[in-house]
Structure 1
């Protein structure tokens, strides 16, 4: 997912709207860099908590969609991205020209490669290994800039060294991107797509390239800024994408009141997050309500809805059955399972990254 080794680096990580200011904050020897980024879900971690008032939702009735599970979607190594090795709580990846070492709680097995290979990584994340914990990047050679150029299937974007160990792109999502692109291209009609918790915007760019009119929503101003940077990098400034910095739940509520609808909806929520006005998001508490809103936002001729869940103590069966309940009466079918990444080379392992459930009108 990358190309070229640029002197300066821009981002394509948990990203969303306006071009964010780039900051370099090196240690005296220039070997360490802390990116001024925020965790997914909002920019103000200390903002006051806002009480959520929910709108009335229509009760779902009728037959539940069919279920096919488990479905394992595997991302294989490419020229742009590869999982080189994993184990002992870490993973070693190649993003274009750079090798990156960072924490990975799922990698509980032994490493395949020698310690010297891991130590030669261009960038190594150190510090808090919690999913949203802050830390620092250490570079084995000359200090690297905050961002570097990447690409996915011809769409250029930036990787970014964030202080929350993310790089601005989740490679396993490529399985969903291909699925969405094919569904839009084969629809044979205009498609309106809503991308909730859209982050750095790659899914939105893929959908727009396929011909969809996209509304991209994220609560983080920085993420929206980075997504707009990616739009410019991809030379897609004229693509029909609206970038909305807003709490995802609030946006859905307002769209329902306006009478708007969408043919396809993507949901990639964090485990925890805050909206621009301090709204709290707790996935296990708020996901049922959001899925009910999602159903109410689907058009009369819908295509699909895809839900991805990270870092939660649950099963894909749980989110699949929740979606089946909320999507009663819509027909179609649901696939559910895990997104995994295959290591590069012989005798590779599969690294599980997230759970998913996706509904399609014509399974």
Structure 2
């Protein structure tokens, strides 16, 4: 089933406007303007309106595609918390202004967090592995549903950030692993460990703590084959997101169907997007997810 996922019913987040390679977003009480390479259309609001609304504006350094600095208005916080609620799940995320334009959260993952919570809740004593786990939105969704969660990210500071989110959300006992994801998964296969849920959010390019190289197109095929060995055949689910612009949903579908064997009715494939106030849809990646817990997603 081909689907489009986006944010729904989240009072603490909205995409206000997008265009001219930028996006204007509200996170809780603060409005941010930052680069967005996919927003190639014109802005709906004027430059004056953007300047008036934005309390923090990210400006790239000359010659850099990622690094830059934030220009802050008076009373703009450099760190703050927002809330996220779904059914019995009540989370808090600490946001911060990084030199790479990120704020510690990818709000477009809202629909996947809900899926992860529901699947984890439906499996007694679920064991969930979150790879390339960043600041832990998916980890918290699974842990909030009662799952035993292993959170793997190669950056120690990011794991500290995720732990802060866990504690702010009133949760505990997530297993934190600071390691290269491929290295960890290979070792788990050798140990014969199994998981009911696996979540992957791999970058296009990255480095492990010991200099291990990750290149999405070179490594993703092997990674998925290893995950297939780790995933329980029954009462299980998997979610993968790809943000690389060169990877279509069809590539992801081919990879998944070669690696995992499950009925078509148990799988969902498509694009993740955010919709601004003028109903323009900003594409932000592709996803594939399946569940053997229930026949219908």
What TM-score results when the alignment is normalised by the length of structure 2?
A: 0.92
SS of alignment partner, residue 169 of structure 1: coil
What are the within-5 Å matches in structure 2 for residues 146-295 of structure 1?
146-153=78-85, 154-187=90-123, 189-236=124-171, 239-295=172-228
- The 1-side partners of 2:286 and 2:68 are apart by 26
Are the counterparts in 1 of residues 195 and 236 from structure 2 also a CA contact under 8 Å? no
- The 1-side partners of 2:80 and 2:59 are apart by 19
Report the Cα offset of residue 311 of structure 1: 2.7
Are the counterparts in 2 of residues 334 and 357 from structure 1 also a CA contact under 8 Å? yes
Report the Cα offset of residue 130 of structure 1: 9.6
Are the counterparts in 1 of residues 24 and 33 from structure 2 also a CA contact under 8 Å? yes
Going from structure 1 to structure 2, the CA distance change for 1:350 and 1:286 (only over 3 Å counts) comes to: same
**Equivalent residue number for residue 359 of structure 1:** 290
Highest Rg: 1 or 2?
A: 1
- The 2-side partners of 1:117 and 1:77 are apart by 25
Are the counterparts in 2 of residues 82 and 94 from structure 1 also a CA contact under 8 Å? yes
Over residues 147-195 of structure 1, what are the superposed CA-to-partner deviations in whole Å (9 max), with x where a residue is unaligned? 11112113112111000001100000001001111112233x1110000
Which among 103, 111, 123 is matched to residue 56 of structure 2?
Answer: 123
Structure 2 residue 41 is matched with structure 1 residue 109: yes
- Report the number of matched residues: 288
Higher strand fraction (1 or 2) = 2
- The 1-side partners of 2:63 and 2:125 are apart by 42
Structure 2 residue 276 is matched with structure 1 residue 343: yes
The RMSD of aligned alpha carbons is: 1.8
- The 2-side partners of 1:106 and 1:296 are apart by 35
Are the counterparts in 1 of residues 14 and 276 from structure 2 also a CA contact under 8 Å? yes
- The 2-side partners of 1:349 and 1:77 are apart by 18
SS of alignment partner, residue 223 of structure 1: helix
**Displaced runs of 4 or more, over 4 A:** 128-132
- The 2-side partners of 1:301 and 1:309 are apart by 25
Are the counterparts in 2 of residues 261 and 299 from structure 1 also a CA contact under 8 Å? yes
- The 2-side partners of 1:320 and 1:300 are apart by 19
**Equivalent residue number for residue 6 of structure 2:** 74
Structure 2 stretches of 5 or more lacking a match? none
Report the Cα offset of residue 331 of structure 1: 4.7
Which among 306, 309, 314 is matched to residue 239 of structure 2?
Answer: 306
What are the within-5 Å matches in structure 2 for residues 55-66 of structure 1?
none
**Equivalent residue number for residue 255 of structure 2:** 322
Structure of greater relative contact order (alpha carbons < 8 Å, 6+ residues apart): 1
Report the Cα offset of residue 358 of structure 1: 1.1
Going from structure 1 to structure 2, the CA distance change for 1:129 and 1:269 (only over 3 Å counts) comes to: farther
